[in-house]
């Protein structure tokens, strides 16, 4: 029996073409025709567009989202913080060994006052989870959509004073997609303490067990989850999402990775490779080619230079982890810190003057990127490999 071949309709061709367009164009098209608006908002089209964007990420192009801020101080001693978000699109020509790029400055109207900074704490499928002052926001930079999360019921207002009064503080934040529930989730770790004296100084601080809660986008609500880690555990970095898990670089006297399974909502501890004997120190993690990776650095005071290593986690079976040293770079002078690695051998860094640099470890070449200038010293700088999407957050 012959198989009937399905013919492609004009509507199918329209969907195929539109699903490869950038979000900025699609947002304009929504205003042109009602049927296009319905199509672009449909879950199937959103999923198809995301799939195409992820496939494009595996090509020779790379998009990086850059978050920086600086403080302006005025003659009357007043001040304000300026937040600068940029999208850098890279293309590395391997034949001519030339790096091409363009920069788009993103004017995103974050709801904040002039003194608050914006810090990225998680990213998944084009959505970033940020903290603005005391608020947690989900933001899609490509569509300029926001969602402000409801207040925590575990994070209490600061007590007015007195000893043995419970004090709660933000300890860590993660964001990702639960494939089982087919829903986006935010996990928040909260540090708790009390004080043995009315002065409430650090020396009188008594750490108490951490608490944690999970927010689900579908219900727009928080619920408490179990967390069993030391009261002296402190997540120290932006979380990294990968395949249903959130990961944080963490310290509790030693360095390790804390993970959270968004499906069963349980925390796990993952050991980092030991580098103590070489005086290198791990200090944060990032996503590298669909693997968890960590920067490890050494500062040489006599030379005022910094060297770094990049380690990649090959395997984790729930008990043990195995790691491979992927890259050694440096020593560099005048480098503040590395930001992320793209295309296996291009290391994005920021120098002490706030300039962004891409370093090709294969040929040992530094490229200074022309990005909107930083007049004052950079206070915060973050970068992540980004995939544009039209995934809604409202």
Contact 288, 310 (CB under 8 A): yes
Residue range 242-267: mean pLDDT, rounded = 92
Closest by CA position to 358, among listed 375, 381, 340, 374: 340
Per-residue pLDDT tens over the stretch 320-377:
788 999 988 888 888 888 889 887 788 999 888 888 888 888 888 888 888 865 556 6
Predicted TM-score (pTM) of the model is 0.88
Task: Give 50's contacts (C-beta < 8 A, 6+ positions apart).
Answer: 125, 126, 387, 389, 390, 391
Query: Could you give the CA distance from residue 367 to residue 92 in angstroms, rounded to a whole number?
Result: 12
Closest by CA position to 358, among listed 137, 92, 145, 126: 92
Residue range 306-333: mean pLDDT, rounded = 84
Structure tokens at 328: 């050694």
Q: Is the pLDDT of residue 294 over 50?
A: yes
Whole-number pLDDT of residue 1:
46
Distance (Å) of CA 40 to CA 43, 140, 161, 218, 326: 8, 15, 53, 20, 41
Per-residue pLDDT tens over the stretch 106-130:
888 887 777 778 899 999 999 999 9
Q: Please, which pLDDT band fits residue 42 given cuts at 50, 70 and 90?
A: very high
Indicate the pairing of strand 356-360 with strand 145-148: unpaired
Average pLDDT, the chain: 85
Q: Is the pLDDT of residue 4 over 50?
A: no
Type and span of the H or E element at 49 = helix 43-57
In this structure, which long-range contacts are made by residues 87-90, counting pairs with CB atoms below 8 Å and at least 24 apart in sequence? 87/63, 87/141, 87/386, 88/63, 88/64, 88/356, 88/369, 88/371, 89/61, 89/62, 89/63, 90/61, 90/62, 90/63, 90/64, 90/342, 90/343, 90/346, 90/358
Q: Is the pLDDT of residue 163 over 70?
A: no
Closest by CA position to 63, among listed 390, 383, 391, 310: 383
Structure tokens at 46: 């959103």
Q: Is the pLDDT of residue 94 over 60?
A: yes
Q: Specify the higher pLDDT residue, 387 or 352.
A: 387
Determine the Cα angle at 172 with ends 171 and 174, to 5°: 160
In this structure, which long-range contacts are made by residues 129-132, counting pairs with CB atoms below 8 Å and at least 24 apart in sequence? 129/173, 129/174, 129/175, 129/186, 131/170, 131/173
Question: Judging by beta carbons within 10 Å of its beta carbon (0-12, 13-18, 19+), is residue 184 exposed, middle or buried?
Answer: buried
Cα dihedral value 105, 108, 112, 113, nearest 10: 50
Whole-number pLDDT of residue 303:
78
Q: In the chain, how many H helices and how many E strands? A: 4, 25
């Amino acid at each position: 029996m012959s198989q009937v071949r399905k013919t492609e309709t004009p509507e199918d061709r329209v969907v195929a073409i539109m699903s490869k367009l950038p979000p900025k164009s699609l947002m304009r098209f929504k205003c042109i025709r009602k049927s296009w608006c319905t199509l672009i908002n449909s879950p199937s089209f959103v999923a198809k567009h995301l799939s195409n964007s992820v496939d494009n990420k595996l090509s020779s192009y790379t998009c990086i989202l850059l978050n920086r801020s600086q403080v302006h101080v005025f003659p009357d001693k007043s001040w304000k913080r300026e937040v600068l978000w940029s999208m850098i699109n890279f293309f590395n020509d391997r034949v001519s060994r030339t790096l091409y790029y363009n920069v788009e400055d993103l004017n995103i109207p974050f709801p904040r006052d002039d003194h608050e900074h914006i810090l990225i704490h998680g990213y998944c499928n084009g959505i970033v989870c940020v903290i603005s002052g005391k608020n947690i926001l989900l933001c899609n930079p490509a569509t300029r959509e926001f969602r402000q999360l409801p207040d925590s019921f575990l994070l209490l207002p600061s007590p007015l004073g007195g000893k043995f009064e419970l004090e709660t503080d933000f300890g860590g934040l993660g964001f990702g997609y639960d494939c089982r529930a087919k829903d986006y989730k935010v996990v928040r770790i909260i540090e708790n303490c009390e004080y043995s004296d009315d002065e409430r100084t650090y020396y009188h601080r008594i750490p108490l067990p951490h608490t944690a809660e999970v927010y689900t986008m579908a219900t727009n609500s928080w619920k408490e989850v179990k967390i069993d880690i030391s009261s002296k555990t402190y997540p120290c970095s932006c979380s990294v999402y990968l395949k249903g898990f959130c990961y944080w670089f963490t310290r509790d006297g030693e360095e390790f990775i804390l993970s959270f399974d968004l499906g069963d909502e349980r925390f796990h501890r993952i050991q980092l490779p030991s580098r103590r004997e070489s005086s290198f120190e791990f200090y944060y993690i990032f996503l590298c080619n669909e693997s968890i990776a960590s920067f490890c650095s050494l500062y040489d005071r006599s030379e005022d230079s910094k060297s770094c290593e990049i380690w990649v986690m090959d395997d984790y079976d729930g008990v043990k982890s195995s790691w491979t040293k992927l890259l050694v770079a440096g020593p560099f002078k005048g480098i503040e810190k590395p930001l992320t690695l793209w295309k296996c051998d291009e290391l994005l860094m920021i120098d002490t003057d706030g300039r962004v640099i891409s370093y090709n470890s294969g040929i040992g070449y530094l490229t200074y990127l022309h990005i909107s200038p930083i007049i004052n010293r950079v206070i915060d700088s973050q970068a992540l490999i980004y995939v544009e999407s039209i995934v809604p957050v409202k």
